[in-house]
Structure 1
Amino acid sequence: MRTYIVNSLYALVLLISSSSLAAEQAPYKNIQVDNDLRQYRLFVPASYTDNTPLPLVLNFHGTSNTPDRQEALSDFEKLAEKERFIVVTPLALFTRTAGGPITWNANKKQGPDDVNFITLLLHQLQQDWAIDNKRIYATGFSGGARMSSRLGCDLADRIAAIAPVAGLRFPTDCQPSRPVPIMTFHGEKDGINHFILREDSPVYWTMGVEDALAGWIKRNQCKAPVQTALSSSLTEFAYQGCSHHADIVFYRSTEAGHTWPGSPMAEQMLRFGLGKTEESLAATDLIWQFFKAHPLP
């Protein structure tokens, strides 16, 4: 199974190795963090002026991937041009083993301090661009979902809301300074980040999705959800009465695999063994609508 996981992750790299022309046009920037030169992909809408602060979305790529491939998967920059927000897609550096695939140090092991990286990156971005400090958000896929979950724990005073896709976590040391609004997605047939914890789950995957969700529900003091069947395979769980309006919305698919709902790469992901995509659910659009409704208090 672990060989399958590694092969599937590298398959994901291959299937989205060719980005769209728009994706290729976004530049990479550098920032020095301790002894490491870190990189991030920056997209600023053409209508930007320094007179109007814009929202910022941090979009974290999955394990063994890159910012370009995360953009191809999520298609956030096209929406950002239309809706007028900045997208920053950082590049990971951490590896669990020598020569292993890069990922995010979401469990805070020995290695690059990715929370510090994002803290310094936000400071730099706020110096360089007019950013609405009440509207800074984090999303990501797989390993990037784990990283956006970590930021919800550690940077709740700066990150207004998070939207992990196929990788929601509630680390045992998670102590956010305030309740954090969350939108999240997961498929029961995810063969990498298992919906239910199994003996052969990856070493970083220490609890099932429902256990992670329960941690956030308890922290946000939410009441029972309103369940809405969107299709024969897809259910929305909208948790009510959460503290400080820190809503939680969870989309659960009985058929989806390790995928991004509504991704333009759905057919390729299926072909490379990552499973079905809920193509009728436009995760990127839903995430942005959720973010817009949840600025920092």
Structure 2
Amino acid sequence: MVPGRAKRGFVRRSARSVLSGRLSAAFAAVGLAVVLGGVPAQAESQVDHPVPSTGCGKSTVPGASETRTIVSGGITRSYLVHVPENYRKFEPTPVVLSFHGHKRTSEYQEELSGFSATDAIAVYPQGLVGTDGETAWQGAPYSAAADDVLFTGDLLDQLERDFCVAPKRIYAAGKSNGGGFTGVLACRMSDRIAAFAPVSGAFYPQGGECEPERSAPILDFHGTDDQTIPYPGNPEKGLPPIPEWLAGWADRNDCDETPIVRDEGNGVQVSEWVGCDRRSNVVHYRIEGLGHDWPSTQPNPDSDQPAVIDATPIIMQFFAEHRLR
């Protein structure tokens, strides 16, 4: 929030401005794709609100991970889904979407983030091969010219048809480019996803303007020794300093201007912006000496060196505290 400015309150875009934006997208798709680095405009059919689950009562195999496919935007997409051991087919269950980083896979992300060990339906979408020949997500300069926001919405529709999903308890997390895409989803799908947790996020400007329909709870992790996505930012690549990105969300969520900062010890500093609209707090874990890693006290695919905290249980606790209203 700009110093000295009064809290602006969270204001939804008017119906007229939304209609205007949709018409502009419809008539200027090519130009918009250039501006956003090849990212197409959001599809008109995108659902941005909780949808009742019709999958309750359908049988599935608890405790198993399975690769499935779906057609979105005319492209066959894949995702890995894990149903928890304690899943009950008539009991609405939270969903956690976990997005892999640049060059990675859904299987890598499952092992890295560990959400399959939780009580949520854990879903690991697979990114498409981008302009550099490696997998990536929308919002990065090297991503494919595909609408991954549409894919996410279509995927949620499918999950709600196949499983007994709690529609107000859907969450998104991601690592690196997947963390950056999690930020894109916070800007574009805050009426359908309840909370967001980027880890070592790559917040490129190609993600586009951020005008969420509602305030979005944000939990962010970043290491001070991240050489891939530097904590102070990278002006040449358009990457903002992490504190600047966080302040932007504190402003959007109409939080108090100054965060509450606490020292957790072992080089971990936690900043929390409170007083936010709809209790959509912004929380940041700054981890001294951590590289471009998913924090874990055990060796993981990112690093053989254990970190001082485990990000996944902290994320799950944060998610448990937020649901769509």
TM-score by length of 2: 0.75
CA distance change for structure 1 residues 174 and 107 in 2, over 3 Å: closer, same or farther?
A: farther
Tell me which of 7, 12, 30 is aligned to 2:69.
30
1:112: Cα distance to partner?
1.1
Is 1:290 paired with 2:313? no
Partner of 1:121: 155
> Where do residues 271-286 of structure 1 align in structure 2 (5 Å cutoff)?
279-286=307-314
1:269: Cα distance to partner?
3.9
> Where do residues 1-297 of structure 1 align in structure 2 (5 Å cutoff)?
26-78=65-117, 80=118, 84-97=119-132, 100-107=133-140, 111-167=145-201, 169=203, 171-198=207-234, 203=237, 205-223=238-256, 224-262=258-296, 264-266=298-300, 269-270=302-303, 279-297=307-325
SS of the residue corresponding to residue 317 of structure 2 reads helix
1:206: Cα distance to partner?
2.8
SS of the residue corresponding to residue 281 of structure 1 reads coil
SS of the residue corresponding to residue 173 of structure 1 reads coil
Q: Deviations over 1:47-71 (max 9, x none)?
A: 2222111000000011101111111
Counterparts of 1:91 and 1:198 in 2: how far apart (Å)? Answer: 27
Give the number of aligned pairs. Answer: 259
CA distance change for structure 1 residues 110 and 90 in 2, over 3 Å: closer, same or farther?
A: closer
CA distance change for structure 1 residues 70 and 157 in 2, over 3 Å: closer, same or farther?
A: same
CA distance change for structure 1 residues 173 and 128 in 2, over 3 Å: closer, same or farther?
A: same
SS of the residue corresponding to residue 27 of structure 1 reads strand
CA distance change for structure 1 residues 70 and 263 in 2, over 3 Å: closer, same or farther?
A: farther
TM-score by length of 1: 0.82
Q: CA RMSD in A?
A: 2.1
Q: Deviations over 1:168-190 (max 9, x none)?
A: 63855011000000111001110
CA distance change for structure 1 residues 263 and 155 in 2, over 3 Å: closer, same or farther?
A: farther
The runs of 5 or more residues in structure 2 that have no matched partner are 1-62
CA distance change for structure 1 residues 168 and 185 in 2, over 3 Å: closer, same or farther?
A: farther
1:217: Cα distance to partner?
0.8
Identity %: 34
The runs of 5 or more residues in structure 1 that have no matched partner are 1-23
SS of the residue corresponding to residue 177 of structure 1 reads coil
1:96: Cα distance to partner?
2.9
Is the 1:75–1:263 Cα contact (8 Å) retained in structure 2?
Answer: no
1:110: Cα distance to partner?
6.3
Counterparts of 1:30 and 1:265 in 2: how far apart (Å)? Answer: 31
Q: Which has the higher helix share?
A: 1
